[in-house]
Amino acid sequence: MSHAIDKSEAALQQAYHELETRLKDLTHELQSANQTLQNEIGRRQRVQEALENTQQRQLQMKDDFLSHVSHELRTPLSVMHQFLTIVLDDLAGELNNKQRHYLEIVLRNVHQLRAMINDLIDATRSDTGKLRIQPECCFAKEIVAQAAVETRQKAASENITVKSKVSAKLPPIYADSVRFRQVLANLLDNAVKFTPEGGTITIEAKVHKEDNHFVCFSVKDTGAGIDSKVLPRLFQRLYQKETMRAATRKGLGLGLFICKTLVERHKGRIWAESKPGKGSAFHFTMPVFSLNNLLVPILTKKKKLPEAVALMDVTVSLQNRSLSPEKVEDRLREGRDLLMNCIQPSQDFLLPRIARTKNGETFFLVVAADPQGVQIISRRINEEWDLRGSFQSLDSSIDISSTSIDLPSINGGGQKALEKHAEKIVANIEQLVREKADKVGGLYGVQ
C-alpha cells in the first residue's frame, strides 16, 4: 500500500514537473510571438507614418505647384482678355461678322480658363486654411435678382426659362458678398449646363423654416436628375458625374467642393436633393445678419452691462481716383486691420461692413468707453494712421466721430433681464448706424 502511494506521488511530481516545463516553454513561445508581433506593429506604424509623410509632402508640392502655376497664368490671361475686349469693342478697327464670331469664341474660352484658375487657387487656399471670407451686412434680394438676370442671358440660347421666387420680407444676411455671389453663380452655371432645351431653372430665397436664424437659398432645375447613390459624392473634390459627356466637361470638378467650403466658412450648410428624371435642387443656408447676435454676448460677457458704451464711426476717404478697385479694397482692408489694433477685442467690437461712401468706407466701432475713453481710442487711431505711409501716399483722409449710448437702469432680474437690457442698447445702436449710413452713402448690398 505504502509502495503504491509513493509510486503515485512520484508519478504526480513527474507530471507536475513536465507540466511546469511545458508551461515555461509555452510562456517563452508566447513572449517571443508577442515580441515579434510588437516589432511587426512598430514596423508597420513606421511604414504608415513614412507613407503619410510622403503623401503630405507630395500634396504640399502639388498645391505649391498648382498655386504657383495658377498665379503665373493669371497675368498673361488678363492681357489676353484685355486685348480681346479692345478688339471686340472695335477700338483697333471694325470687325466683320465672322471675325467677331471667332473672337467671341476665344473670349468665352478665356473666361472658362480664368474660372478654372480661380477654382484651383481657391481649392489650394482651402487646403492651407487661407481661404478668407469677410462677412458684411449683405442684402441678398438684390444679388439674387442680378444673378437671375445674368443667368437668363446665358440660358437664352437654350430656350431655358429662369424664374426667381424671393420672399418679400427677406432679411439681410451676414455673408461675404463676393463669396455669396460665387456660390450662387456656380450653382446656376451647373443648372444651365444640365437643364435641357426648353427646361426651367428656379431660384428661391426664404427664411429657413427649421431655423429662422438662417436664410435658405435654392437653385432648382428640370434636368435629368441625379441618382441617390451619387448625391453624397457631389461635393467631393474633383468629382464629376461619370455620365457627363466629354464635350460638357468645362471645369475641373472643384466648383461644388469650393461651394461647400465657402458655405461652411459662413457656418451654413449645403446639400442636394434629386431623383432621376425629375430634376435637381441644390440648397444652401447663410446666417441672418443680426446686431443682437453679434453684440449681446459681448455686452453681457461679464454678467453685467458696461458702465459706458459709445458708437464710433470712422470714415476713410481715398481721394486718389487712379486706384484700381483691387487697390481700393486692399487699402480699406488695411484700414480695418488698423482699427482692430486700436481696440480691446475683449470688450470692444468692430462691426462688419455696413456703410459705403463714394470714395471709401465708414467703419463702426462699439466701444465700452466713456467720453474720455473715446478720446483715447480716437488719439490712438490717428497716431496709427499717421504711421501708415501707405495711406499718406494715396491722398487719403480719416474722420472720427462718436455718440454716447444711453444705458438703461437695472434692478436685478438675472441673466434674461440683463440680455433684454442689452437688446435695448443694441436697438439704439442699430438705429444710429442706419442714420449714419444713410448720410454717408447707404448700406452695403443695396444697389
Global model pTM greater than 0.75: no
In the chain, CATH 1.10.287.130 covers 1-131
Q: Where are the beta strands (DSSP E) in 190-279?
A: 200-207, 214-221, 270-274
Task: Output the pLDDT for position 371.
Answer: 92
Q: Tell how strand 200-207 and strand 161-166 pair up.
A: parallel
Q: Where are the beta strands (DSSP E) in 332-407?
A: 349-350, 355-356, 360-367, 396-405
**Residue partners of 81: CB distance under 8 A and separation at least 6:** 107, 110, 111, 114
Structural class in CATH, domain 136-287:
alpha beta
Number of Cβ within a 10 Å radius of residue 70 = 18
Contact predicate 119/252, CB 8 Å: yes
Task: Output the pLDDT for position 112.
Answer: 66
* 3-state SS assignment for residue 270: strand
DSSP 367: E
User: Is the domain defined by 291-440 classed in CATH 3.30.70.60?
Assistant: yes
Contact predicate 348/363, CB 8 Å: no
The pLDDT averaged over each successive group of 10 residues in the chain (447 residues) is 66 76 82 86 86 74 65 75 83 85 81 70 66 82 88 88 88 88 91 91 93 94 86 74 48 76 92 89 93 87 87 85 72 86 88 75 91 93 81 74 85 79 90 82 49
Q: Alpha-carbon distance 252 to 101, whole Å?
A: 26
Side-chain half-sphere CA neighbours of 24 within 13 A: 5
Beta bridge partners of 397: 317
Q: Alpha-carbon distance 148 to 220, whole Å?
A: 13
For cell 464670331, the residue is 101
CATH code assigned to 1-131: 1.10.287.130
Task: Output the pLDDT for position 125.
Answer: 65
Task: Output the pLDDT for position 447.
Answer: 35
For residue 350, give the amino acid letter: L
For 396, the grid coordinates are: 487719403
Task: Output the pLDDT for position 411.
Answer: 65
* 3-state SS assignment for residue 137: strand
**Residue partners of 137: CB distance under 8 A and separation at least 6:** 172, 174, 289, 352, 353, 354, 443, 444, 445
In the chain, CATH 3.30.70.60 covers 291-440
Nearest to 191 by CA among 142, 255, 140: 255
* 3-state SS assignment for residue 108: helix
Task: Output the pLDDT for position 62.
Answer: 64
Sheet holding 280-287, edge to edge: 161-166, 200-207, 214-221, 280-287, 270-274
**Residue partners of 257: CB distance under 8 A and separation at least 6:** 123, 126, 235, 236, 237, 238, 239
For cell 484651383, the residue is 120
DSSP 353: B
Long-range interactions of 157-160: CB distance < 8 A, separation 24+: 158/192, 158/195, 158/196, 158/197, 158/198, 158/199, 159/197, 159/198, 160/192, 160/195, 160/197, 160/198, 160/199, 160/200, 160/201
Nearest to 141 by CA among 90, 180, 95: 180
**Residue partners of 291: CB distance under 8 A and separation at least 6:** 351, 426, 429, 430, 433
In the chain, CATH 3.30.565.10 covers 136-287
Crossing angle for the helix pair 97-128 and 2-88, to the nearest 10 degrees = 150
